[in-house]
Structure 1
Amino acid sequence: MNEEPTLSAGWLPQERAEAENASRSSLVPVLEPGLWVNPWDVVLCTSGTLISCENAVVVLIIAHSPGLRAPMFLLIGSLALADLLAGVGLTAHFVFAYLLRSEATKLVTVGLIVASFSASVGSLLAITVDRYLSLYYALTYNSERTVTFTYVMLMLLWGAAICIGLLPVMGWNCLRDESTCSVIRPLTKNNAAVLSVSFLLMFALMLQLYIQICKIVMRHAHQIALQHHFLATSHYVTTRKGVSTLAIILGTFAACWMPFTLYSLIADYTYPSIYTYATLLPATYNSIINPVIYAFRNQEIQKALWLVCCGCIPSNLSQRARSPSDV
């Protein structure tokens, strides 16, 4: 009897993936005899490619521009680098899952993805802390102590992310016992639970910091408006815009990551794989949106981008280049 080999999704336990490939043929179209490709994996690979290209632009701009060495730009560069590696990990996982199938490659690529997304979320928290400190200590913020503190934050978050990414390779995986697998193979249920709880704690801290930032911004705007009554309307509009920007940042982050975080906390490997893909895909969108929110809206980065691309700066951009950045 001839057996036709199937290529299963690399996120799922092996036996379960084969059973699902047979029972859910509507989700896995056949490209040629014996070859199965999950369309969800194709979408994730496409997202990874877009993430890589978009964030590579940000990394190159910051690395190429000596003027972008302030703490804020170092943190934005860290975020872009983390998202870039996450995109590379998603693309590499697809390639290895369908072209070079081995347990070692799964451990490496999933470890890279976990480490990259952990560094991405950590960088978002670091940016939030930096924005809070820049407002709370406005007079003494631009000092050598701030630069040192920024480097310490970067070393800690990347060190923690690398350690988390190495855990599957060092034996913290479910390859020996498929029943302990989480919704993301080869992470165990305990691994996923710890990561989910850590994310929720970081989100709670970011929420608290953004609330404090809103209070500081509104208090400063109110004080200025009392001193200059004729500017009250202008400051009201500026403050409302700043608070709206913070709400968009936090809302986007929660909308992208919260579904997968909550799902991985309550689900295990027995749940239908479509739920895993449906919650994981929005999480990757956060890495697509991050450059737009944190990098491309920044006027200094816009200026550097124009210099790199065509060696010119639009007049309206050059006039605003030294204006304060968005909250």
Structure 2
Amino acid sequence: MENSSVIPTGAPQGLDFFMVLSCGEQRAIGVLGLLVGAVALLENGLVLGLIAGAPALRRRPSFLFMGSLALADLLASVVYPVSFVDFHLFRRHDGRAASLLKLGGVTLAFSGSVGSLLLTAVDRYLCLHRAHRYRALLTRRRALLALLLLWSATVLVSFLPLMGWQCATGAWPPCSELFPYVSLSFQLCWTAAIVLELLVILAAYATILWKARLHTAAMAALQAAAAGPQRARVRLDLRLARTLSLVLLVLVGCWLPVLGFMLADVAAALGLAQRRAFAFCSMLCLVNSAVNPLLYALRCQEIRRALVARLRCLTGGGACCRRRRAGTPTPRESGPTQPEVSGTGISSYGLATPWGSQREVDKGGQEEVDRGGQEEVGRGGQEEVGRGGQQEEVGRGGQEEVDRGGREEVDRGGGAGGGDGEGV
């Protein structure tokens, strides 16, 4: 695609054009990338191990999406620091195929991460707005199909430059100033797709926050006639709003600078300071991969319980772990379990289900069931007792009246007859 004979000053003419960091900046960003990458690797590896080692979690769609997110962030924590440090710190000059292969791996990891966040947001939206049909709408089979489509599309799109959608470094203007051998048309399409996915995620979470606000207002109106549990539910709603606000803040803060530079690269030529700032801002995507396990997995009660159980297995010997592998429940798991409430997707992320924790919903539902059952039993029992008592009273009273009337008639008749006999 070298169709331009005149190359302006400053146009990318080799891989040295993209190595914009000074020696101090190279060391700083290298240390930062390796540290953040190591943290993200440990966190996401832990989440994947916990989900893979718990059959009860693997059967639920919410945890399948969580595992997909952890897998994508695990790939990002390995591929991105190695490629970035190898290019900027060690200044490795790879060929076209090797450069596009490394870039495709980075694109694959971050595209899979954003795609998994999109599925997570859709899962939460369905859990909230289709709570009664959630299990029918989002089955395990459909969740696996969605993940298959996501990763198939991600692999295809990520390696399109390697398969031919590229440009020779030095051609102007079709080439990117941020990535070697990348066409501006591909960069624009990929950026637009990521922006669209982020907008859908923001819309889903904004709807959840709006619903939480409405619910909080409705519950606040009932506080005058309600006791402590209603106030506790309002506090849970506020906690939900804070959690989702933190999720949106991290998502926008980590991706907006990078996407802004990529769109600016498509619209106009970038200077040296802008390309140097982009190198540092791109580390925010890796920071997002390190923060995602804290926001989505480790806040979840089921994940924390699985972690505590695993730690107890490791510290208490191998008998517990052998029972787990054999499918035998541990003493804590062998007791009665709470029934799952429809719409468990949100509770799987440490949020409300749909407006409280799983324990609160189970407790509230049990209270409602007990209260309703007691009312029904009490009302029905009183009605039965009342009816039986009335019948018994009526029967008893009627019998008394009959007996009393019969005796009176007999007495009267006997008295009259005796008199007549005596008269005769």
Instruction: Determine if the TM-score, normalized by the shorter chain, exceeds 0.5.
Output: yes
Match of 2:57 in 1: 68
Match of 1:7 in 2: none
Change beyond 3 A, Cα 1:145–1:261: closer
Match of 2:246 in 1: 248
Which structure's CA Rg is the greater one? 2
Partner Cα distance (2:294, 2:138) in 1 = 29
Change beyond 3 A, Cα 1:114–1:153: same
Deviation at 1:252, TM superposition (A): 0.8
Q: Does the CA-based 8 Å contact 2:100-2:161 persist in structure 1? A: yes
Partner Cα distance (1:189, 1:145) in 2 = 38
Point out where structure 1 has 5 or more consecutive residues left out of the alignment: 1-10, 30-35
1:146 aligned onto 2:139:
yes
User: What SS does the aligned partner of 1:311 have?
Assistant: helix
1:192 aligned onto 2:187:
yes
Match of 1:113 in 2: 106
Matches within 5 A, 1:171-320: 171-179=164-172, 180-221=175-216, 226=222, 229-230=226-227, 231-267=229-265, 270-272=270-272, 273-311=275-313
Q: Does the CA-based 8 Å contact 2:68-2:147 persist in structure 1? A: yes
Aligned length: 301
Q: Does the CA-based 8 Å contact 1:48-1:91 persist in structure 2? A: yes
Partner Cα distance (2:138, 2:294) in 1 = 29
Q: Alpha carbon RMSD of aligned pairs, Å?
A: 3.1
User: What SS does the aligned partner of 1:68 have?
Assistant: helix
Match of 1:161 in 2: 154
Q: Which has the higher contact order (CA 8 A, sep 6+)?
A: 2
1:28 aligned onto 2:23:
yes
1:102 aligned onto 2:94:
yes
Deviation at 1:208, TM superposition (A): 1.4
Deviation at 1:238, TM superposition (A): 1.2
Change beyond 3 A, Cα 1:38–1:14: farther
Change beyond 3 A, Cα 1:13–1:83: farther
Partner Cα distance (2:271, 2:38) in 1 = 28
Deviation at 1:278, TM superposition (A): 2.2
Q: Does the CA-based 8 Å contact 2:18-2:177 persist in structure 1? A: no
Deviation at 1:281, TM superposition (A): 1.3
Aligned-pair identity in percent equals: 28
Point out where structure 2 has 5 or more consecutive residues left out of the alignment: 1-11, 316-331, 341-346, 353-424
- Residue-by-residue CA offset, 1:17-66 (whole Å, 9 max, x unaligned): 46x5xxx7xx215xxxxxx9554344334333332222111111111111
User: What SS does the aligned partner of 1:139 have?
Assistant: helix
Q: Aligned letter for 2:251? A: F
Partner Cα distance (1:184, 1:46) in 2 = 24
User: What SS does the aligned partner of 1:326 have?
Assistant: coil
Partner Cα distance (1:12, 1:133) in 2 = 50
Moved more, 144-153 or 55-64: 144-153
Match of 2:15 in 1: 14
The match for 2:67 among 58, 69, 77 is 77
Match of 1:46 in 2: 35
Partner Cα distance (1:239, 1:28) in 2 = 49
Q: Aligned letter for 2:351? A: D
Partner Cα distance (1:152, 1:252) in 2 = 28
